[in-house]
Amino acid sequence: MTPSRLIQQYWQDRNVSWSGKHLLLYQDSSVLSFKKTKQRTDLGYVGKGEVHGGFELHNSLLVDAQSRACYGIGGAQVHSNEFNSVEHNKQRKRSLRHVSFSQKETYRWYSTIDQSTTNCAGASRYTVIADQEADIYELFSLYKERQWDWLIRATDYRRVRHSNGSTMLLSQFLQEIPVSFSYQTQVSTSQNRTSHQALLRVKFSPITMIKSSKNPTKSLPDTLCMYVIDIREDDTSVLADETPIHWVLVSSHAVTTDQEAAQLIEWYCERWNIEQLYRTEKTQGLNIEQAQLETTHGLANLSVVSIMAAAQVMALVMAREPKQPIDAQIILNQQEIECSLWLNPTLEGKTDKQKNQHPPNSLAFVAWVVARLGGWSPHVNKPAGPITMIHGLVRFKAIVEGFALKNTTPNQQVMGLP
């Protein structure tokens, strides 16, 4: 069994109809570190250390563009780094300049989406969303060939063709176009930023991106047409000693109106859900890095199983306040849904605030039940987070097993006898 086969089997068992759906595929990688043992000889290096080994888990998270329902992990790959020094990595990068894109590690930004669209075939549209690591010219060309859309944060060195025929840096081009609209948003506290109300100025325009002269792949088109969105924080809202918010996004989606630009910005902002996914899988949640399996192959498979479980947690978190009702069957079976209906009255109080206000059989309804099992109180002003959902889901799964036994006549099959 392999990581990709685990996910393939999951979707084959689910038998979901994707017809008419527009899927957002959020891509990212996470470094997983494990203690090295005699049996874990083929773990790769992470960072500059040699004491702990590990690998990178690269995956895509599937989200419905309309309802924002989280469906789970579409594809995943594990990558190990055999080099443990800066110089080795420099030599490796130099040698890769003459290697085809399909042989590079960065090819995972394509192959993982290929997995996802194969596992979840039949959707009307796919949009790949990722940060600057996916700003790769070969990727854009491949996405275009496969008729997949993209929304990627651009790097600073991109060159574009001006309407007068000259070439310039994308950053220079953006200085020439006017602000289209402005809006205010609440910025949450992060490692490098304090919570505050930010005033953001937005520009957008069609662009013609030029292939780098250093790119050796002759089969690539010389230019690619797409759209750019520039989001920059106004100086008046920047807090002292902090860097202004500034994103440059490139997309295959047409951006000709303020509403279209705002929609793409909203989609990109929700990329933080994949960061939450990794937080859920690691130390504050499922604690995958403390796994006791002895083989790297076993750890790789377990890491994929855990990220799939973390995605189920994220599906519940994202369903707390849905834009529209989401059927619980997207991640749960009928027995689990029936168990949530049976459990619900035992978790409700006497007042309206203490009652589950969501439609039965909806994912939001189940999320409320799981949150209550995890210790969340309706009197708290903020909704349950991923860690609370993990605790609740563990309890819920155990209760479902008992619920299944309650509704089944004991026989040899239920008792596990031959």
Please write the tens of the pLDDT for every residue from 315-334: 999 998 877 788 999 899 89
How many residues can be counted in the chain?
Answer: 418
Whether the pLDDT of residue 130 is over 80: the answer is: yes
Q: Which is more confident, 364 or 51?
A: 364
Predicted pLDDT at 399: 96
Residue (of 3, 7, 11) closest to 120 by Cα position:
11
Please write the tens of the pLDDT for every residue from 232-264: 999 999 888 888 999 999 999 999 999 999 999
Q: Find the helix or strand (DSSP H, E) in which 62 lies.
A: strand 52-64
CB-based burial, 46-85: b 16+ in 10 Å, e otherwise:
beeeeeebbbbbbbbbbbbbebbbbbbbbbbbbebbeeee
Give the predicted TM-score (pTM) of the model. Answer: 0.90
Whether the pLDDT of residue 202 is over 70: the answer is: yes
Please write the tens of the pLDDT for every residue from 140-181: 999 999 999 999 999 988 999 988 888 999 999 999 999 999
Predicted pLDDT at 303: 94
CATH 3.30.1490.20 fits 319-406, yes or no: no
Coil, helix or strand at residue 237: helix
- Any idea where the domains of the chain sit in the sequence? 1-131+271-315, 147-264, 319-406
Please write the tens of the pLDDT for every residue from 1-18: 888 999 999 999 888 889
Please write the tens of the pLDDT for every residue from 376-413: 998 887 889 899 999 999 999 999 999 888 777 655 44
User: 47 falls in which pLDDT band (50, 70, 90)?
Assistant: low
Q: Which is more confident, 69 or 218?
A: 69
Q: Which of 76-90, 195-209, 307-321 is predicted least confidently?
A: 76-90
Q: Determine how many CB atoms are found less than 10 A away from the CB of residue 92.
A: 14
The most distant pair of C-alpha atoms in the chain lies apart, rounded to whole Å, by: 80
Q: For 147-264, CATH number?
A: 3.90.350.10
**Average pLDDT value over all residues in the chain:** 89
User: 48 falls in which pLDDT band (50, 70, 90)?
Assistant: low
Strands 159-161 and 149-153: unpaired
Q: Determine how many CB atoms are found less than 10 A away from the CB of residue 347.
A: 17
Predicted pLDDT at 89: 62
